[in-house]
């Protein structure tokens, strides 16, 4: 439609035509944000993650991860609003350039915040392992460790199993320290059995820390995947050559409609 097409219209007809162009004009392809970056998705994701953390649901590392994820989701929602609402004073090329710059700024900001949150998670998980060691009183360098392993190795299987089960239940630091990082050949205990005993002891005496560690692992996984989603979105934010050409044509039609409408009113 050209400006001259509006000259034979009544103001009411021109307004109706202009509205028709406005509703369909100049839209870049919609970004597919997906479940990890959909607006307001943070609360639903972290309801499950924080629930898994049990009594540590407000751990500082978890809360920082939550804020980092919210920043990603909200940032992409805001960028999509920018993409789909061109300032009438901007040419199509200027608008796409504005989208590209905004996308680069968003990805840079998200990357920095994500890196800080992930570093905080890694530090917290390392601290959890130290806390578990402290709670169980583990000291793998105990001078009597070799002697304890020798005694265990010499026991009949049933008595040895009973002894280490009791040690795990009671938190016997001496026995647990002796077997904690030992090879099966030194203790007579099969490797899978040793793993089961270690897990049992930790669950018994530091189960809350295991819950927090699992929640932190889920947070790490969510942030990593959401950031990869962000990188994929960044590659398509400007729409590509075909989308840019269509956007330019639609924008031109919308601008002509607006100009023609104004001309009709002023004639």
Residue 130 pLDDT: 95
Residue 10 pLDDT: 59
Query: Which of 247, 246, 260, 249 has its CA nearest to residue 16?
Result: 260
**Which tokens belong to 35?**
């479940």
Mean of per-residue pLDDT scores for the chain:
85
Query: Which of 199, 127, 129, 212 has its CA nearest to residue 168?
Result: 199
Query: What would the mean pLDDT of 29-45 be, rounded to a whole number?
Result: 92
Cα–Cα distance measured from residue 231 to residue 159, given in angstroms and rounded to the nearest whole number: 57
Residue whose tokens read 């929640």: 215
**Which tokens belong to 27?**
């839209």
b (16+ CB within 10 A) / e for 94-129: ebbeebeebbeebbeebeebbeebbebbeebbeebe
Residue 182 pLDDT: 84
Residue 188 pLDDT: 85
In percent, the amount of the chain with pLDDT more than 90 equals 58
- Confidence band (pLDDT; 50, 70, 90) for 239? confident
Cα–Cα distance measured from residue 81 to residue 77, given in angstroms and rounded to the nearest whole number: 6
Using the predicted structure, report yes or no on whether residue 27 has a pLDDT greater than 90. Answer: no
Cα–Cα distance measured from residue 188 to residue 80, given in angstroms and rounded to the nearest whole number: 62
Residues 6 or more apart from 166 whose CB is under 8 A from it? 172
Residue 183 pLDDT: 85
- Confidence band (pLDDT; 50, 70, 90) for 62? very high
Query: Do 34 and 229 meet the contact criterion of CB atoms below 8 Å apart?
Result: yes
Query: What would the mean pLDDT of 146-158 be, rounded to a whole number?
Result: 91
Helices (H), 25-59: 34-37, 41-52
Query: What would the mean pLDDT of 162-173 be, rounded to a whole number?
Result: 92
């Amino acid at each position: 439609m050209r400006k001259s097409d509006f000259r034979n219209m009544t103001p009411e007809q021109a307004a109706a035509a202009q509205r028709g162009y406005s509703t369909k004009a100049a839209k870049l392809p919609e970004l597919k944000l997906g479940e990890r970056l959909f607006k307001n998705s943070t609360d639903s994701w972290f309801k499950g993650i924080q629930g898994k953390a049990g009594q540590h649901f407000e751990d500082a590392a978890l809360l920082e991860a939550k804020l980092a994820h919210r920043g990603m989701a909200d940032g992409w929602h805001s960028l999509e609003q920018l993409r789909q609402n061109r300032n009438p004073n901007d040419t199509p090329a200027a608008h796409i350039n504005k989208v590209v710059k905004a996308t680069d700024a968003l990805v840079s900001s998200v990357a920095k915040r994500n890196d800080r949150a992930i570093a905080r998670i890694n530090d917290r998980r390392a601290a959890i392992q130290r806390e578990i060691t402290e709670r169980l009183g583990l000291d793998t360098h105990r001078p009597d460790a070799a002697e304890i392993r020798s005694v265990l190795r010499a026991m009949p299987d049933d008595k040895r199993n009973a002894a280490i089960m009791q040690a795990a239940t009671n938190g016997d630091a001496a026995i647990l320290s002796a077997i904690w990082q030992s090879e099966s050949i030194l203790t007579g205990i099969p490797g899978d059995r040793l793993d089961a005993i270690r897990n049992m002891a930790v669950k018994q005496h530091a189960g809350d820390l295991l819950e927090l560690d699992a929640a932190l692992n889920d947070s790490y996984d969510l942030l990593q995947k959401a950031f990869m989603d962000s990188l994929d979105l960044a590659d398509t934010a400007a729409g590509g050559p075909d989308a840019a050409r269509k956007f330019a044509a639609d924008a031109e039609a919308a601008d002509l409609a607006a100009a023609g409408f104004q001309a009709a009113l002023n004639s």
